[in-house]
Amino acid sequence: MAASRDQEASSSTPRFAYHVFLSFRGKDIRKTFIDHLHTALLQAGIHAFRDNDEIERGEDIELELKKAIEQSRISIVVFSKDYASSGWCLDELVKIVERKKTSGQVVLPVFYDVDPSYVRNQTGMFGEAFARHEEEVEAETGERKKESMEKVRRWRKALTEVEINLGGKVLQNEAYGYESKFIEEIVQEVRNKLSRTVLMVTQFPVGIDFRVEKINLWLQDQSTDAGIGVIYGMGGIGKTTIAKAIYNMNFERFECSSFLADIRETSKKPYGLVRLQKQLLRDILKGKKQKVHSVDEGIVRIKNAICCKKVFVVLDDIDELAQLNAVFGMREWLYPGSKVIITTRTEKLLKAYEAFKMFKVYELDNKDSFQLFCWHAFGQDHPNKGYKELSLSVLQHCRGLPLALRVLGSSLRGRSLEVWESALEKLEAIPDNYILKILAVSYESLQDELDKKLFLHVVCFFIGKEKEYVAKVLDECGLFPTVGIQKLMDRGLITIESGNKLMIHQLIQDMAREIIRKESPEEPGKRSILCHHEDSFYVLRTKTGTESIQGLILNMHMLREEKLSTTNLNVKNAKRHHTQETLDRSVVSYQGSSPKRRRIGFFSWQPITSALTKLFPVPDEETFTTDAFALMHKLRLLQLNYVQLTGCYKEFPNELRYLCWHGFPLTCIPSDFALERLIALDLQHSSLTQIWKGTKFLGLLKFLNLSYSHGLLRTPDFSGLPSLERLALKYCISLVKIHESIGDLKKLVCLNLRGCKNLRKLPREIIRLKSLEKLILSGCSKLETLPMELKKLESLTELDAENTAINQSCFNAGKGVSWPIPFWSRAIKPSKNVDLPWFSLPCTLVKLNLSECNLSDDAIPRDFSGLPSLMELDLSLNPISSLPEIRYLTLLKSLFVDTCTSLQSLPELPSSLKEIIAIDCNSLERMKMPPKLFKSLDFILLTGCHRLCHIDGLFKLEPIGNFDKKMINKLGLVDLESMGNVEVELCNHRTSARKKGPLQGLYEFGIFSTFLPKSRVPSWFSNKCTGSSISFTVPWIFNLAIQGLRVCVAYVRSDRHEDGRFYDFYITIANKTKGLEWTYGPMFYGDKHEDMIWLSHCNVRNQFQGGDEVNISMFVGVGFRVKECGADFVYDQEETCTQSNSGQEIIQHSTYPSCQNVIDGDLSLYERGNGVYVLSHHDLYPEFFPLQSPPSERWDDPSEYDPLTWQPILDSGEEEEESDEDNDSGEDF
């Protein structure tokens, strides 16, 4: 939740002036029910606040009421028939719901002669009241109108949350409807609630709503099974805050509850575990003191106490399994319906308990981070004038960590600009000690010194690198990384993200570097790792290195940039301007992801600027001598980027396992450079023209990266590299020849030749690479052929041939030209002496990329059955009009056909698909998509497919005249010809495309609809009502069975929503008697006309009968307003239609066409709860139907992305090939 501007700080210990705040509509029930309830509360000794002022309220009274709400333990909200007509009452309700979230205020809804569903759905008299509110909004203009629209949205949300999440007491259902007895029950309920204690959550609960949503859904799932949930994440991320908020929101739902705080620290104290057991027993047994003499005895007593009660227990901050076992035993002890929540930093602590539900806590997104910091630093949701740039700099440092935002914000509050600048300068050198202390708990919990050493090596050298790559390098350093990395993950010190890469939070990285700095604060040459560029520069310049050094990092480009930034640490600092711009951009919502992600850090690189380092300013061209490394006998890991060295390498450390030297300045590696122990050699952006002279034997080398070496003409002899597993030659733009000895690399797994634009052929020996799994050739624009026997690559799983010239040779192969036949030789008629099947590719392929290869329909096969293992297929940017048969690819997960502008249809797709991307296929008209496949898809993107109007099995849109007349008659449209040449404009929810033309009929889920430019519900509807909802009783008509339901909604266009999309255009039909509810969101909606009606008909043969209470509600986007609703039933074997001249109903025989009918058929795919179904092929409004959680905005690298497309941003003049220069562990390694 983004905190509102008038949010006030709460005290750490809440003080209450009232037991109860009464919220009600005075005009309705002030002198009757409310007066009786207030009197009963007072007689019970319960101090209740009641607003007795019936005069017009002013600002002072508004503030007084807000204060009364904040100072009350419990709010009783009495929903009467006229409650929703009062904007004042609804404002009170919003404030009450907010207080529940922020401070755990107890809320008791009371439904006085009101159906709770009217409150939840804003239907009935509540719907009528909101229709009036919305009419008032429409009469406003400008900013005031926007504010009023937002206010109405908050009202609706508050009503929905109160009814869904809090239950309440209903007069009609309790005490037989007698008010006096009902009031007694309310008073008793209040007494029970007052006996329970709520927890103080946090001073400024920014972002709480989103963070607790999934956990609340799990807690409130109505399951009778006992459940245990685990909230895990790094230190300071907000696990305890979330647990407290969850506890306050849910403890009333259980018979007993207990919150055991800070178990990790408490268990370290004498008899700590026993004290925790006593507290748990006391909470569960309602205050009864229990004598517990030992942990074992406590376990038995707890087991006896929880086995017969529905309990809710939170175990906060567990870091050892023994703590969990001591306080709680097996899941089987719990009584049905009980829930337990555990918070921990150690994800795998509870690995043995597979039934646990895991909830990972991520960093706050950019917007919430900014607001939380501002509340702590300025006491409001925005910075003071002149502080924005500095605030954004702090945000970049905190990277969404709530603890850091709170600590730094509070420490800077009320300080001058000069103090802020000074504090930032210090922060860049030495991170805040309190934050580091909290974060260091996980590091100190590592019991093995090797694990601590491993952590420091990973943090300094291998963040952003592939786990397998890191493990193989560090295994040769004796650090046992396979087991150790898992321990680091378990404690939340590092994470594994996309591409199996090791990632870390910026502040944990700072913590690790500070640990290293403290090894020798004044003499950097005595530290184990030199991870700050200035320290490395100083040690090399003064030749003060020692045998303590095991790793060294120096990047001269980065060092010069830092020197520039440190000369002027003020608000005009160029880097801060850059930070502000990037964070301003990244506040927009996440649009997607990119494989070219890079981490950047603004504060973590700089050491203390001591007098020693200031003696040596960095010149434009600094050269070091190789003897500066002479005493570093234990040096294993060395990163020298853009560094110039002179001298011989005979005395250079000979124990190197990892050498990364971007911008290597020599044209050939010196022969006396001892590389024999190397595992990884990374010389990207080098000046090499040849790597070494002759053959060099490097028996341990597994990874070789020479990418972006623009002068490299040919590869070396590979026969001396028997262990090589990965070879990267990306964008070696002068490379013309690959040595034939490449066939000797029996262990080679990945060969990356991306962007080698002068490479014309591959050596035939490549087919001897029996271990090769990945072959990347994209951007080799002159590569025309592949070896004919490519099928011999029996391990190959990925082939990327994007933007190659292979297909262009197809047209010459049949004319006697002596090229090898390409592997899709069906493109032409082969010469007589060649009998090559279309596919000479290995059947092991998992990923195949043939995008931008100029493939036509004749150049690809009719089916891909020869590739049974294929999981990803990319045919984008090819002039194909149809796809081959792919339904038998039973493992296919991803299909990409972006910008295939001639593509007209997609064939039947395999049921295994999870992702379909078909952007800008502007000729695409038809697809085949079974409903089960659509529901199982994780992602489908059809933006720009403007002609798509038919997906077999899902929906069909075509001129209404093409449909069966009997279907049309069910809508009451007997005489279509009389409507003339009416045109409508429809908008597609899925593709955002607009379609303008004659009247269209939409058929999906067995529901037939059309949109007409009319202003009123037709007169033949027997049930009509103004506003967005209608309620009525199904009539009894003997000898006739209900066949269908016909609904009409009249709506009018209003101001367009800012982003032009209307997620919440849907209708809800509820059978209140049977407890059934269907929500339908059409794929298309009518737009542009001043007035529109939406007519629809659906089969509901088995869902309604005479006497059922029905409610129908229409929800539209903020760009529309509902004027009127109508509904009636169509009966079996009969159909009603209206004569235009008399309005008299005529009975006609009709049968429904044979097609998908969901409501009367199998609804299991669409069920969202007991009797609740959602029928939609697009995402409905997420507040009501959270189909999936949106991806969080992360703090990894906001500066690298354009906020509108979420694509990497290239600096002006930067070539595309450079955009992933630092991604040397992704597709390379």
Query: At which residue do the structure tokens 């207080």 appear?
Result: 99
Cα dihedral 290→291→294→296 (10° resolution): -40
Q: Whose CA is closest to 249, among 200, 286, 284, 216? A: 216
Round to whole Å and give the CA distance between 232 and 236: 11
How many CB atoms within 10 Å of residue 441?
Answer: 16
Residues 6+ positions from 24 with CB-CB distance below 8 Å: 30, 34, 77, 78, 80, 83, 89
How far apart, in Å, are the Cα atoms of 278 and each of 260, 285, 291, 310? Answer: 11, 10, 8, 19
Q: Give all strands (DSSP E) within 979-1090, no chain letters.
A: 983-988, 994-998, 1000-1004, 1007-1012, 1023-1026, 1029-1033, 1042-1053, 1066-1071, 1076-1081, 1084-1087
Return left, alpha or beta for 408; rule: phi > 0 is left, psi -120 to 50 is alpha, else beta.
Answer: alpha
Round to whole Å and give the CA distance between 675 and 659: 9
DSSP strand pairing (983-988 vs 994-998): antiparallel
Q: Whose CA is closest to 582, among 408, 427, 396, 367? A: 396
Residues 6+ positions from 938 with CB-CB distance below 8 Å: 914, 915
User: Are 907 and 864 spatial neighbours (Cβ–Cβ below 8 Å)?
Assistant: no
Sign of CA dihedral 381, 384, 385, 390: negative
H-only helix segments in 51-115: 59-70, 87-103
Q: Which two tokens stand for residue 845?
A: 């392929």
- Count of residues making up the chain: 1229
User: Are 1021 and 980 spatial neighbours (Cβ–Cβ below 8 Å)?
Assistant: no
DSSP strand pairing (915-917 vs 905-908): unpaired
Q: Whose CA is closest to 641, among 625, 659, 662, 667? A: 662
Residues 6+ positions from 344 with CB-CB distance below 8 Å: 230, 231, 232, 239, 317, 318, 319, 350
Round to whole Å and give the CA distance between 98 and 249: 12
Q: Which two tokens stand for residue 1153?
A: 């066409």
Q: Is 252 a catalytic residue?
A: no
Round to whole Å and give the CA distance between 932 and 99: 42
Round to whole Å and give the CA distance between 1082 and 1049: 13
How many CB atoms within 10 Å of residue 426?
Answer: 12
Q: Letter for the amino acid at 1207? A: Q
Q: Which two tokens stand for residue 149?
A: 């629209």
Q: Which two tokens stand for residue 709?
A: 């070496």
Identified catalytic residue from 8, 54, 92, 1090: 92
Question: If you ran DSSP here, which 8-state letter would residue 380 be given?
Answer: S
DSSP strand pairing (872-874 vs 894-896): parallel
What 3-state class would DSSP assign to 181? helix
Count of CA atoms in the C-beta half-sphere (13 A) of 889 = 28
Q: Whose CA is closest to 1110, among 1074, 1163, 1159, 1066? A: 1074
Beta-bridge partner residues of 530: 552
How many CB atoms within 10 Å of residue 150?
Answer: 12
Round the CA-based radius of gyration of the chain to a whole number and report it. 35
Residues 6+ positions from 114 with CB-CB distance below 8 Å: 79, 80, 81, 83, 125, 126
H-only helix segments in 518-628: 533-542, 556-566, 574-586, 611-614
The residues annotated as belonging to the active site are 92
